[in-house]
Structure 1
Amino acid sequence: MTRILTTHVGSLPRSAAVTDLIFAQERGDALDKAQFDAVIAAAVDDAVARQVAAGIDLVSDGEMGKISYATYIKDRITGFDGDSPRTPPADLEAFPSFLERQAKGGGTPSYRRPRCVGPVEPLTLAPLHDDLAHLAAAMARHKPHGAFMNSASPGVIALFQPNDHYPTQDAYLEALAEAMRPEYEAIVAAGLLLQLDSPDLGLGRHMMYKDRSDADYLTLIGHHVDVLNHALRNVPADRVRMHVCWGNYEGPHHCDVEMGVILPTLMRAKPAGLLFETSNPRHQHDWNYFVEQAAIIPDDKILIPGVIDSTTNFIEHPRVVAERIERFAHIVGRDRVIAGTDCGFSTFAGFGAVDPAIVWAKLKTLADGAEIASARLWKAAA
């Protein structure tokens, strides 16, 4: 390549028609399968067209057919039922008035988060095959540079869907990894990049493990990485990327574990690509940790920093985007950096902090900033 490629984390704004169908499906309402497929296919086609028009190289289906990036798995693997109480992150617990305001504003998901109540095993790949077909049709029509599809990591499933069945958390994670393996392998077999969503490695510190020490946390997420690597044993590293974040919400985030603490663990993960936050105010300094720990970054790692924020309606200036890209290019080289976003823009159906029209404008400024950075980086090397 002679330029910086662009991508994003996955979820994109869903229309009211899509959201209504997704929640009807969630409630168990009787649905016309042909109508459902037609609406989702049209939404995926529109999302891919808009991504290409905005200048995004590596596109996704926008997660149009999923209720959320973690709980969709209940329809694809066995062992889940009921609901789970909502446990707020530690930073929001410290500011109860803000937590209440966020809940009233729709920031707390209202859909079910089922618990693990039985053996976790593969159930069906039919919904995945639908997703793959919709994306393949849109790609054939709009011809992006490439595409990826999101899938939940074992750790993020465990983060939002607690274990009531397995004797230990490790046993639960291992069962999840093996149950999700067919989905991981099918996505890669379809010719797409597999993106593993793994907020458990960042957000998990101030949610599921908020009462543990940093040392304990590193041990625990080390096992998350181990089971993920095992689930990827049949998949080439360069066909996989992993997204790590600290929670896609506007909030204090003063309890976020530092990137410098978890970076060595992240570097042990098999996926060649690493997507992470660098644009929100709590993580704009994180590029320094990559400088300080450059020696531990494997030569085959591709860094995909978030160069636009996903929780505010500010449209970043392209020069700011370019500067963020260049910082990482100067650390690992221009050929090992892709411009990304901090997180998704519609973490669950029916919710998005950023106005849909502004989402596309932000993605356009991402592409504009990547163009500026590319011109500077390749001119400097000439």
Structure 2
Amino acid sequence: MQLSTDRILTTHVGSLPRSKAVTDAVFAKENEQPVDADAMAATLRSAVEAVVARQVQTGVDIVSDGEMSKISYATYIKDRISGFDGDSERNPPADLEAFPGFLERQASSGGTPSYKRPCCVGEIAVKDMAPLQEDLDNFRAAVTAHAPTEGFMNAASPGVIALFQPNQYYAGHEAYLQALADAMRAEYEAIVDAGFILQLDSPDLGLGRHMLFKGKPEAEYVALANLHVEVLNDALRNIPAEKVRLHVCWGNYEGPHHCDAPMETVLPIALQAKPQALLFESSNPRHAHEWEVFRDAAIPDDKVLVPGVIDSTTNFIEHPRLVAQRIERFADIVGRERVIAGTDCGFSTFAGFGAVDEDIVYAKLGAMVEGAALASDRLWS
């Protein structure tokens, strides 16, 4: 993993806006409509090349494939591992349930993405590695062509798969998680073997508190979240920590967020995870104050912090000076070499859905790059 050795490096959480052609293709496949496989492959290959090029042109150091091929960051796994079918009832976050008028407005305005969330109805096992191989090939070609500082690829953690795909087959939650970890291990190892940094998306540790674990006592939530980390670590047992980064968040949506678990609770759990780098929200106005938690915590010397220094749910373009201030806070806590500038969450968590206009996404990323340069001037002066 590249570190900020002579300046603050920049990255983001992974998903980026998809074109209409890409969105139409992935939804056609999702809805089991006739798809020209060669045409779809060409569309995705071109989209990955274009999204990597634009990240590099914007100045982002550590880039992704934008998750072009995935309809969402968690449900894509149904095409790669067996045991999933059908759809499941939606389970809205507790904060939105507390404001039913807002929840209804979100749903009626298109603010709630529509796609299948299959249930686990059978034995989980590796089904098809070809979709992953296509992603790896497309990303490798784009990285070779545009030469970013480094490339990373997203994969769903066992916990987030369990969060969105309910278990109707295994005897209990722990057995379900372990089966997911055993099946996803092949994807995790293939990404690292291909030469990319593996990013595990694990909002179950934060968002899970007011979805999967809502209504449960605090002690039970903490125990279950720690179980999620234990199972994740088992899935990563063959991968060095410095090849992996972990993203945690409280849900990539504009909403009350007053039911979010505090960072005081989430951080000790997340720090038990094997990945060297931790990506987390720190621009979200419900959590922007929580840099103080990091200041007061015992952060292990081998951990790298990737705070979100720009928001992913609004069209405000952050001032570079504000970005620099956010970076400097964390650099003052753990040292400049252990901070990379990131985003609160992805900008297109679901294909065809994103609160931020595509051109504004890159303007925000550009502000992050400029802010990182300002912070670097101070931190290396």
**How does the TM-score come out when normalised to structure 2?**
0.98
Task: Give the whole-Å Cα distance in 1 for the aligned partners of 2:214 and 2:289.
Answer: 23
Other structure's SS at 1:286 match? helix
Aligned to 2:216: 212
Task: Give the whole-Å Cα distance in 2 for the aligned partners of 1:292 and 1:299.
Answer: 14
Paired AA for residue 308 in structure 2? G
Aligned counterpart for 1:224 among listed residues 221, 228, 251:
228
Task: Give the whole-Å Cα distance in 1 for the aligned partners of 2:92 and 2:268.
Answer: 27
Aligned to 1:179: 183
Paired AA for residue 368 in structure 1? E
Is 2:370 the counterpart of 1:368? Answer: yes
Aligned to 2:155: 151
Aligned to 1:140: 144
Is 2:10 the counterpart of 1:9? Answer: no
Aligned to 2:331: 329
Task: Give the whole-Å Cα distance in 1 for the aligned partners of 2:344 and 2:252.
Answer: 8
Paired AA for residue 142 in structure 2? A
User: 1:264-292: CA deviations, max 9, x gaps?
Assistant: 11111000010000001101011000011
Aligned counterpart for 2:81 among listed residues 59, 77, 80:
77
Aligned counterpart for 1:26 among listed residues 24, 30, 37:
30
Name the stretch that deviates more: 180-189 or 208-217: 208-217
Is 2:279 the counterpart of 1:275? Answer: yes
Task: Give the whole-Å Cα distance in 2 for the aligned partners of 1:174 and 1:17.
Answer: 37
- Counting aligned pairs with the same residue, the percent is 67
Aligned to 2:267: 263
Aligned to 1:233: 237
Q: CA deviation at 1:28?
A: 1.3
Other structure's SS at 2:239 match? coil
Q: CA deviation at 1:92?
A: 0.3
* Unpaired segments ≥5 residues, structure 2: none
Task: Give the whole-Å Cα distance in 2 for the aligned partners of 1:339 and 1:124.
Answer: 35
Number of residue pairs matched?
A: 377
Other structure's SS at 1:23 match? helix
Q: CA deviation at 1:262?
A: 1.7
Aligned counterpart for 2:352 among listed residues 345, 350, 354:
350
Other structure's SS at 2:246 match? strand
Q: CA deviation at 1:213?
A: 1.7
Task: Give the whole-Å Cα distance in 2 for the aligned partners of 1:208 and 1:108.
Answer: 18
Other structure's SS at 1:285 match? helix
Task: Give the whole-Å Cα distance in 2 for the aligned partners of 1:372 and 1:213.
Answer: 44
- Within a 5 Å distance, the mapping from 1:40-55 to structure 2 comes to 40-55=44-59
Paired AA for residue 291 in structure 1? R
Q: CA deviation at 1:183?
A: 0.0
User: 1:208-241: CA deviations, max 9, x gaps?
Assistant: 1011122111100100000000000000000000
Is 2:110 the counterpart of 1:103? Answer: no
User: 1:49-96: CA deviations, max 9, x gaps?
Assistant: 110011100000000000000000000000000101111100000001
Aligned to 1:318: 320
Other structure's SS at 1:6 match? coil
Other structure's SS at 2:350 match? coil
Aligned to 2:305: 303
Task: Give the whole-Å Cα distance in 2 for the aligned partners of 1:12 and 1:234.
Answer: 29
Other structure's SS at 1:195 match? strand
Task: Give the whole-Å Cα distance in 2 for the aligned partners of 1:278 and 1:312.
Answer: 14
Aligned counterpart for 1:377 among listed residues 358, 376, 379:
379
Task: Give the whole-Å Cα distance in 1 for the aligned partners of 2:112 and 2:314.
Answer: 17
**How does the TM-score come out when normalised to structure 1?**
0.98
Other structure's SS at 1:274 match? strand
Aligned to 1:161: 165
Aligned to 1:89: 93
Task: Give the whole-Å Cα distance in 2 for the aligned partners of 1:359 and 1:109.
Answer: 19
Task: Give the whole-Å Cα distance in 2 for the aligned partners of 1:366 and 1:213.
Answer: 39
Task: Give the whole-Å Cα distance in 2 for the aligned partners of 1:286 and 1:79.
Answer: 39
Q: CA deviation at 1:109?
A: 2.0
Q: CA deviation at 1:30?
A: 2.1
Task: Give the whole-Å Cα distance in 2 for the aligned partners of 1:219 and 1:105.
Answer: 37
